[in-house]
Structure 1
Amino acid sequence: MDRSSVSWRGYIPAITTPFDSSGALDLPALHQQIDWYRAEGLHGIVVAGTSGEWFSLSTEERADLFAAAARHRAEDFVVIGACNAFTAAEAVVHARAAERVGLDGILLTPPPYVVPNPREVVQFYSDVSDATDIAMCVYNWPRGCVVDMGPDLLGELADVENVVAIKNSTGDFASFLAGMYALEGRVRYFGLPTSPLGADLALLGHGDGLMGSGGVLGSDHPGFWDAVDAGDRDRAVELGARDRVVMQAWFTPDYGVRFGNQQAIMKTALRLRGVPAGHVRRPLLELSADEVDLIASTLASLDIETVR
């Protein structure tokens, strides 16, 4: 497989996993949430990622989530299942669940906490690839996994059979750019910022989009990439500026959060928009009243109506 094996492009966010107030998985809410994303024109979704609280899902719940999300697959709507795990054997179980229900591909970080060396990282992805036949997106997220995979290591991973894409969420922009140029023509490359620079790079044909978080701005997110496809830089920059408001108000440059936790921020924003995103599951906690007000204020600054 390589980049030509898939048509992934544009904005494909890692979405939240709805839990009810007791902490149970709420699949009816998930379907409503995905219906909203589709109506807003998103190009696809990632389920059971970091935003989807994979770390608190059982193996059975993750499989149920994959099966539910698979019902929404369409030619213009990619559904990818995150298979993050501490061992390749665990990741293979999740990847096979994604294969069984017909997901378009899987997203996979290196094992978090473990801090594997480059040789071990390559072996980890090779083991998962060898045991499955599903397209894979390698996810470099040093804040969550400690390991920051540079261009050379990403180049080795691009040679792994099932790897078709890289989501590069490094805080080192120079390394991001080096990886982008080194891997062009080999794999899909996600992570371009929604800044004027990101628009210019995309208009020059670099990168394939952004696998963001939550998709709380709805149509603004895919609109940036649709404007790029149409060659409309002004429109792309205008929409990207709205996304930057959210990123600067809620998140740090290295993808950390300024308050609360990322999952509660996303779920609160979606609930304020009337989208049934549910609640976070322990050990995460909901935002304080003041933090909810901050979320509402940010949305209001973008002329987005909210409900309480």
Structure 2
Amino acid sequence: MTEIRGIIPPIITPMDEEEAVNEKELANQVNRLIESGVHGIFALGTNGEGYILSEEEKERVLSVVIETAAERVPVYAGTGCVSTKDTIRMSKKAQALGADVLSVITPWFAAASQEELYIHYRQVAEAVDIPIVLYNIPARTGNALAPATVARLADIDNIAGVKDSSGNFDNMLQYIELTRGKKFCVLSGNDSLILWNLLAGGAGGIAGCANVFPENMAAIYENFIAGNLDAARKAQDNIRPFRNTFRYGNPNTVVKTAVELLGYPVGKCRSPFHQIPREGVEAIKQVLKDCRETGIR
């Protein structure tokens, strides 16, 4: 089974001026991230705008990522849908294309009980035979995976981990505590908590900021594993100025704007989620300038 660990960027999906997927630049971004030392690539995540891509576009994006990664690092595929039936269909398709790990977000819009969530994930797990990482992001979906539910799901063989983007560190701690001793990994979906996740017994993070600073983000994990906690803490602290710019817009939009400002033709997020005020763009430019001058990449 694929080892789930380290820094896994939820890779952005480059688009041209007509909002069509730019496959050439997507491949370039895959190579850039892998060459910077990341430990996996996550396609079709929140930063990859999986929520707004058509099924055909998702298939092409995932195919390009898998082909370009060429088994250098594991490829994670976001396959969660509102219905169990559609999630199973997308999960089977991702497995057939060659994904190594599935990331399955909770269903959204309609409220789900914990038992409904448990049954949903159990049925998805029974339909495929590659690892599944649960994805908890209640601010976006309206449905939270309770620690007790995650502990139950961790007993299913190919449910191998969870990404927690709740922003609640105690919630992530409970995931870690209740699954200790099981073959189960807890990943931080909040970039500011990656080092603290590792110190608590977690496995790393699915880090949107790794699209902007892949070397720095990978250094959090690599220095932690090497026992160099001071260097790991410095790398963790390095992203605070950039994360402070998230107040100017949707974090997905801020991240993609930053990568464009670094000189990569990744375009804007798909409308209507593509606006950042002028002062926000200027703030991002200043942070990127400061980071370049101090060697943060």
User: With structure 2 as the length reference, what TM-score do the two structures score?
Assistant: 0.91
Q: Which residue, 196, 206, 222 being the options, matches 2:218?
A: 222
Matched AA of 2:203: D
User: Is the 1:54–1:84 Cα contact (8 Å) retained in structure 2?
Assistant: no
Deviation, 1:117, is: 0.6
Residue 185 of structure 2: aligned partner = 188
Residue 266 of structure 2: aligned partner = 277
Q: Which residue, 182, 186, 207 being the options, matches 2:202?
A: 207
Q: Which residue, 113, 125, 129 being the options, matches 1:133?
A: 129
Partner Cα separation in structure 1 for residue 30 and residue 253 of structure 2: 18
User: Is the 1:192–1:209 Cα contact (8 Å) retained in structure 2?
Assistant: no
- Within 5 A, what are the aligned runs for 1:32-181? 32-73=28-69, 76-181=72-177
Partner Cα separation in structure 1 for residue 53 and residue 119 of structure 2: 25
Unaligned ranges ≥5, structure 1: 252-257
64-73 or 232-241, larger mean C-alpha shift: 64-73
Partner Cα separation in structure 2 for residue 95 and residue 201 of structure 1: 27
1:16-55 Cα offsets, whole Å, 9 max, x none, are 1111110111111100111111121111111111111112
Shift in CA distance, 30/9, structure 1 to aligned 2, threshold 3 Å: same
User: Is the 1:224–1:236 Cα contact (8 Å) retained in structure 2?
Assistant: yes
User: Is the 2:41–2:76 Cα contact (8 Å) retained in structure 1?
Assistant: yes
Partner Cα separation in structure 2 for residue 156 and residue 241 of structure 1: 34
SS in 1 for 2:133: strand
Residue 14 of structure 1: aligned partner = 10
User: Is the 2:111–2:143 Cα contact (8 Å) retained in structure 1?
Assistant: yes
User: Is the 1:49–1:84 Cα contact (8 Å) retained in structure 2?
Assistant: no
Matched AA of 2:163: K
Residue 289 of structure 1: aligned partner = 278
124-133 or 23-32, larger mean C-alpha shift: 124-133
1:124-152 Cα offsets, whole Å, 9 max, x none, are 11121122222110011111112222210
Q: Which residue, 241, 244, 248 being the options, matches 1:245?
A: 241
Would you say how many aligned residue pairs link Structure 1 and Structure 2? 292
Matched AA of 1:303: R
Deviation, 1:288, is: 3.0
Which of the two has greater helix per residue?
2
Partner Cα separation in structure 1 for residue 189 and residue 89 of structure 2: 31
SS in 2 for 1:6: coil
Deviation, 1:270, is: 0.5
Deviation, 1:232, is: 0.5
Shift in CA distance, 169/147, structure 1 to aligned 2, threshold 3 Å: same
Identity over aligned residues, as a percent? 26
Matched AA of 2:188: G
Unaligned ranges ≥5, structure 2: none
1:87-140 Cα offsets, whole Å, 9 max, x none, are 111112221221112111110111111221101101111121122222110011
Runs ≥4 in structure 1, deviation > 4 angstroms? Answer: 192-195
Deviation, 1:275, is: 2.5
Deviation, 1:201, is: 6.0
Partner Cα separation in structure 2 for residue 303 and residue 76 of structure 1: 27
* CA RMSD, Structure 1 to Structure 2 (Å): 2.0
Partner Cα separation in structure 1 for residue 179 and residue 226 of structure 2: 24
SS in 2 for 1:219: helix
Deviation, 1:304, is: 5.4
User: With structure 1 as the length reference, what TM-score do the two structures score?
Assistant: 0.88
